[in-house]
């Protein structure tokens, strides 16, 4: 059982928090990660900033752009993860597009992830049809490679992801990009049910989850929630991180 899988326990709902490494700066990233763990997050998703983040909405795009402007590279993200792993006990996952990993070198990147204390990878632009090489290398290094499913996913795609995703399956709540939303789609329950029928892995819902009410709704049908854009907004609004801590605590309470 991987460290990520061990977080998922019967009746317990997992809170996964996304932050962009290097936003607003590297020093702040270390403090933010510690605050998230202290406030009730079970897994921290560390975003490697990328120049063409196709799956991300305006909020995360802006944070990635600012991090890149400050010179945040994949190596800087690895170094930062290594520091974070010394301070928190929760599993760490990199969210990265495929191109930075390919440029770094698949084998070297995965080796470096293990050294840095990373437990898994989320690669939104990598499909199961194209993921065999990275899958093999991550399995060799005991890294969980998490695949995505969307409401538009076919039964064949659901079956493929159910067979090959490790750690959990990332369910995109809606078609589109990341970002805060007032409401979650009406068809969310049906989508989760479709995947549940074919999969044994934990199911976590992200994209648009931005309030305790959203979290409570997701908790009724899935095993965890993933929150990102709202956290980035709170970091921008309140550098003391008090608002961030309060929000995360409210999400944890809603899941409980």
What tokens appear for 32 in the block? 């933010």
The residue among 74, 108, 69, 82 whose CA lies nearest residue 30 is 82
What letter would DSSP give residue 42? S
List C-alpha distances in Å: 140 to 106, 110, 238. 12, 9, 41
Question: pTM for the full model?
Answer: 0.93
Residue range 35-56: average pLDDT?
A: 89
Where in the sequence numbering do the catalytic residues fall? 45, 56
Q: What is the pLDDT of residue 187?
A: 84
pLDDT band with cut points at 50, 70 and 90 for residue 178? very low
Q: What is the pLDDT of residue 182?
A: 54
Share of the chain above pLDDT 70, in %: 93
Other residues' Cβ atoms within 10 Å of the Cβ of residue 240: 8
pLDDT of 133 over the 60 cut: yes
Residue range 37-42: average pLDDT?
A: 97
pLDDT band with cut points at 50, 70 and 90 for residue 186? confident
Question: What structural domains and CATH numbers belong to the chain?
Answer: 14-145+207-255 (3.20.20.70)
Express each pLDDT in 144-153 by its tens digit.
999 999 999 9
Express each pLDDT in 207-248 by its tens digit.
888 899 999 999 999 999 999 999 999 999 999 999 999 999
91 burial via Cβ count (<10 Å: 0-12, 13-18, 19+): buried
Full DSSP string of 194-224: HHHTT--S-EEEESS--SHHHHHHHHTTSSE
Q: Decide if 162 contacts 183 (C-beta within 8 A).
A: no
Q: Decide if 209 contacts 215 (C-beta within 8 A).
A: yes
Q: Decide if 117 contacts 84 (C-beta within 8 A).
A: yes
Express each pLDDT in 149-175 by its tens digit.
999 999 999 999 999 999 999 999 865
Scanning the chain, the segments in alpha helix (DSSP H) are 3-7, 26-39, 58-69, 74-87, 98-104, 106-116, 132-140, 155-164, 188-196, 212-219, 229-237, 242-255
pLDDT of 254 over the 60 cut: yes
Place of tokens 């009406």: 186
């Amino acid at each position: 059982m991987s460290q990520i899988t061990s977080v998922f326990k019967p009746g317990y709902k997992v809170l996964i928090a996304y932050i962009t490494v290097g936003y607003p700066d590297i020093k702040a990233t270390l403090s933010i990660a510690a605050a998230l763990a202290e406030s009730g997050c079970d897994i921290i998703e560390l975003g490697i900033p990328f120049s063409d983040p196709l799956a991300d909405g305006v909020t995360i795009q802006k944070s990635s752009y600012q991090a890149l402007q400050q010179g945040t590279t994949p190596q800087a993200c690895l170094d930062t993860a290594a520091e974070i792993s010394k301070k928190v006990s929760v599993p760490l996952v990199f969210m990265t597009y495929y191109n930075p990993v390919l440029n770094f070198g698949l084998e070297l990147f995965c080796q470096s992830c293990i050294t840095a204390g990373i437990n898994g990878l989320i690669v939104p632009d990598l499909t199961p049809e194209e993921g065999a090489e990275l899958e093999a290398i991550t399995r060799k290094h005991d890294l969980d490679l998490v695949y995505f499913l969307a409401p538009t996913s076919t039964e064949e795609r659901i079956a493929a992801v159910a067979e090959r995703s490790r750690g959990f399956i990332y369910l995109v709540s809606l078609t589109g990009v990341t970002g805060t939303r007032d409401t979650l789609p009406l068809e969310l329950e049906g989508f989760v049910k479709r995947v549940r029928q074919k999969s044994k892995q934990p199911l976590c819902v992200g994209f648009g989850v931005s309030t305790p009410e959203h979290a409570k709704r997701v908790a009724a049908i899935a095993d965890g929630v993933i929150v990102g854009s709202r956290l980035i907004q709170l970091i921008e609004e309140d550098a003391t991180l008090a608002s961030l801590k309060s929000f995360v605590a409210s999400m944890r309470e809603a899941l409980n």
